[in-house]
Structure 1
Amino acid sequence: MLVEKSVHDFIEIVDSNEPVPGGGSVSALAGSIAAALGRMVGSLTFNKKAFKEYDESIQNCLRESSEKLLSLKEELEKGVDKDANAFDKVMEAFAMPKETEEEKKLRSEKVQEGYKIALETPRRAAKACMEVLDLLEPFVKYGTKGAVSDVGVGVLMATSGVEGSIFNVKINLLAMKDEKYIEEANKEADEIIEKMNKKRDELLKIVYERLK
């Protein structure tokens, strides 16, 4: 499994002439690291005197966000390998015989099915990374000031995870023929990017203000 390799080994595998792991796996990893950074900032915050002075609702929000980030961190970590294997069905379909018209038709249908399966992995990763970005907000606002740069990096990593995953969604859509599916998937992807840009700008503004 890719996630069980050392950082060095993972980078070396990416730095090869193999198509996987590629941008999709790296995007999932970015989202998982973002979640980990949020939880790290939470761990550094919970024992601080300032945390105990926060309103109970803020304390609960930070703790609940940390728990949700754990779940997303694990999901996205699994997504590193899932993305690397997502294209398997497409490759299997391309290997099907295409001698007769019937075989060509079946092969084409299986290729299209394969692309839909491949697309679901980055589609879910984009949504998961967006959830991570949303959950970083309380740590950006209330996390211990000494770690505000760390949660700021988390924001950047989550953003990369979202946008990188959307790149993978869109490149798979280029090979698809179902116009309705393409339109709906593109609309969803564009809405996620719009939401991401707004949230990223809001959070980075707070990060820079807290760094003064």
Structure 2
Amino acid sequence: MELKGLSVEAFINETGSSSPAPGGGSIAALNAASAAALVEMVASLTIGKEKYAAVEADMKAVQAKASELKTKFVNFIDEDSNAFNKIMAAFKLPKGTDEEKAVRSEAIQTATKEAALVPFHVGEAANELFALAEEVITKGNQNAVTDGAVAAMNARVAVKGAFLNVKINLGSIKDEAFVAELNAKMEAIESDVNAKETTLLSKVVL
């Protein structure tokens, strides 16, 4: 089933079902897609307005980047669920002989690495949204400034949520160098996402 083609109601109901996918990783991607869409919207509401003519070029650049990221995140919704399903398929492989056990073990490790990488890329890309949110909050149409703030909030949730899903998969991966590399990259990104959100929200004057 292609999740991104579902209605909002169908997607939410599928998430709430007994099926383990879509789960937190797909929801993190959805949060990121929502954040990107809000940034794109504020930029769109700024472009063409005489009052904001001086920042029109900036807003067009933000609009294009946000649209690009939005599409990427929507695709990640399915990629995350598909990666989880590959792990489940690997666990179902035969294990009657030593050779089969070895093949099964390698398949599980390969699938688990993929299941860690997908949400890592979600979080990594979601981190880019803070700079775009800052652009629309500080330069964009002030009638929609709270939408930029909600984008920043969703970006933080997307990073945190995606990385939680990375970490739970890393616990099953035997490749220590792979685990160490992803942990270091996540730590560097996570170290200031809370501060980024707080800073952006402080710029919203109501």
Smaller-chain TM-score range?
A: over 0.9
1:23 aligned onto 2:24: yes
Contact preservation (8 Å) 1:31, 1:76 = yes
Partner of 2:143: 146
Partner of 1:200: 197
Shift of 1:66: 1.0
Task: Map residues 119-134 of structure 1 onto 2, 5 A cutoff.
Answer: 119-134=116-131
Partner of 1:70: 67
Q: How many residues align?
A: 205
- Looking at structure 1, the residues matched to 146 and 106 of structure 2 have their Cα atoms a distance apart, in angstroms, of 49
SS at match of 2:161: helix
Partner of 1:33: 34
How high is the sequence identity, in percent, across the aligned residues? 39
- Looking at structure 2, the residues matched to 166 and 134 of structure 1 have their Cα atoms a distance apart, in angstroms, of 19
TM-score, structure 2 normalization: 0.94
Task: Map residues 1-212 of structure 1 onto 2, 5 A cutoff.
Answer: 1-52=2-53, 54=54, 58-207=55-204, 210-211=205-206
- Looking at structure 1, the residues matched to 93 and 23 of structure 2 have their Cα atoms a distance apart, in angstroms, of 25
Which ranges of structure 1 fall in alignment gaps of 5 or more residues? Answer: none
SS at match of 2:181: helix
Shift of 1:41: 0.7
Amino acid at match of 2:89: E
Q: Deviations over 1:153-203 (max 9, x none)?
A: 111111111111111111110111111211111111111111422321221
- Looking at structure 2, the residues matched to 89 and 14 of structure 1 have their Cα atoms a distance apart, in angstroms, of 18
Shift of 1:138: 0.5
- Looking at structure 2, the residues matched to 127 and 76 of structure 1 have their Cα atoms a distance apart, in angstroms, of 11
Contact preservation (8 Å) 1:27, 1:164 = yes
- Looking at structure 2, the residues matched to 101 and 86 of structure 1 have their Cα atoms a distance apart, in angstroms, of 26
- Looking at structure 1, the residues matched to 130 and 32 of structure 2 have their Cα atoms a distance apart, in angstroms, of 9
- Looking at structure 2, the residues matched to 108 and 93 of structure 1 have their Cα atoms a distance apart, in angstroms, of 8
Contact preservation (8 Å) 2:46, 2:59 = no
- Looking at structure 2, the residues matched to 198 and 178 of structure 1 have their Cα atoms a distance apart, in angstroms, of 32
TM-score, structure 1 normalization: 0.91
Which ranges of structure 2 fall in alignment gaps of 5 or more residues? Answer: none
**CA RMSD of the aligned region, Å?**
1.4
SS at match of 2:17: coil
